[in-house]
Structure 1
Amino acid sequence: MTVPLLLSVALHLGVVIILVAGFKFSPSTPEAMEVTLDAPLSEEVVPQEEIVKAATVDKAKVEQQLEEIRAAEQQRKDEIAELERRAEQAKRQREAEQQRQRELEAQQRAERERLAKEKEAALKQQREAERKAAEAEQRRKAEEEAARKAEEERKRREAEERRREEERKRKEAEERARAERERQMQEELEREREARAAAKARQVQSELGKYTNLIKATIQRNLISDSSMQGKQCVVNIRLASSGFVISVNRVSGDPGVCKATENAVLKAGTLPVSEDPEVFAKMKDINLTFAPEFN
């Protein structure tokens, strides 16, 4: 109950108490008329007219006092009714004030609950926003990390690709250089081989020429010739063993007389000079020899 309501109730109660106390102690009490009926008559006799007059006066006074009592009683009732009305009004006001206070308290309670709910909703919304912000930040960091790793992976792959490309080019260059060195080496070897082959061929040819001349000289020593052979020649085929032993001798072409004399000279020699060099001998073991007798 609020302070103004308490003050109002106390004020009304005070008024009621004062009015009741006034009605109880304040109203004028009619003076009682003392009438002694059985008292012994005094020696002085009162006249009859005076007695009647006194009775009339006292009756009027009593009536007046009764009227005053009734008026006072009615006033008291009216005042009590007014007090009751005021008390009822105060009660209604008090109850209305109490109802207003209850409604106000209910409104305040509802307002507090509403504010609490709004605060809770705001806190919940804030927490949800913070959660979403944290999730968004986490996703952003995860995306940044993924992008960073992807970029690092891309750079690593590019670097690896460059390294492989450089390695491939290096190997290709090394292979080209090796192939070039090999080619040059092969060319050099080929030139050397050709040079050796040429030298060998010259050597073989030289040896072959030398031994051919030696064979011709041997045939010339063993040849029985006459003047009819002068200016004539014969081509014979001679087959020799590695020791120079004459396996066979046959006329190929030329003058028959010269050929016959040449065949006899070869057979007479039996063994002809041959080179120990296998390559030279390979060209000598089955040789066609052109022979012309020499005359001094």
Structure 2
Amino acid sequence: MKSNKNNRNSYGKPIAISLFAHALLIVALLWGTDFNMTKSEPTGMVQAVVIDPAKVRQQAAEIRKQRETAAKKEQDRLDKLRRESEQLEKNRKAEEERIRKLKEQQAKDAQAAREAEQRRKVEKERAEKAEAERKAKEEAIRVAEQKRVAQEAAIAKAEQERLEKERAIKEAQEKAQREKEAAERAEQERIAKEKAAAEAAEKARQEQQRLEQIERERKEQEAALNDIFSGLESEAASNSAARSSQVDIELAKMGEIYKQLIQQHILTDSSFRGKECRVNLQLIPAGSGAIAGAVKVIEGDARLCNATKSAISQVRSFPLSEFPEVNAQLKNINLTYKPQL
């Protein structure tokens, strides 16, 4: 509406100017006609008063000249008015053309403005729709993220509960295993003690029988022993040497057994190839076997010695020999371990 009001204002001014020019032209024409009529009256009055024909002719000539001059001026004025009227008409037409073009341009501008406004509205609607879609997507993402976080929290909680249950089950199993192993060790110790007691009783019985047999033989051969006393001393020395050799063999055998036990528990490494470790192992009798007490490194590769000590600590029981003399030495034994790679 504001644009239409401006259009009416722009059209009204040129039209008012054109109407004013036409009105001015009409007034001028009317004034010219009145001038001609007023000029003729004095001439008639002069002719009626003057008697001299020469003066009349002279006055008539002057009047004619004045009329011609006035007519020429009037004609010039009319020509000027005509030209001005034509110019005004041209100006009016030019103004009308300008106004027409202005109206066309304004119509085009108005159409362009309407189209621009329509495009702006469409763009605004599109932007609002895009913004709504963006907000909807953001809301969906936010909701999805909340769900994901909640799911992860639930999964983490479930995982924590599962781990706690597994830990409780594992602890219960380990406790049961320890109790079972303790019961088995106690049973083994009991069986070993009973076996040792039975073996000791059997050995005592056999020893008693042997002593009784020896006593009988001693009594029967008492006289003969005096004669062969020197021979018996030589035989006793030979038996002692044989016994010492047997102890050494048994010690070597038990040492190899212990090395095999270490080999079973050691974490082997290719860098151990060609290396060795010498340790001092102190055993503590426990039931039918023995357990590792103190372990001291005597010499050897540091990494191999650490692995050897770790393997020794994992051996549950070291077997003992059937010979007491050997077991007495096994309580404090030196071992040289070379890994078998």
Which structure has the larger Rg?
1
Please state which band the TM-score falls in when normalised by the shorter chain. 0.3 to 0.5
Task: Give the helix-richer structure, 1 or 2.
Answer: 2
Query: What TM-score results when the alignment is normalised by the length of structure 1?
Result: 0.47
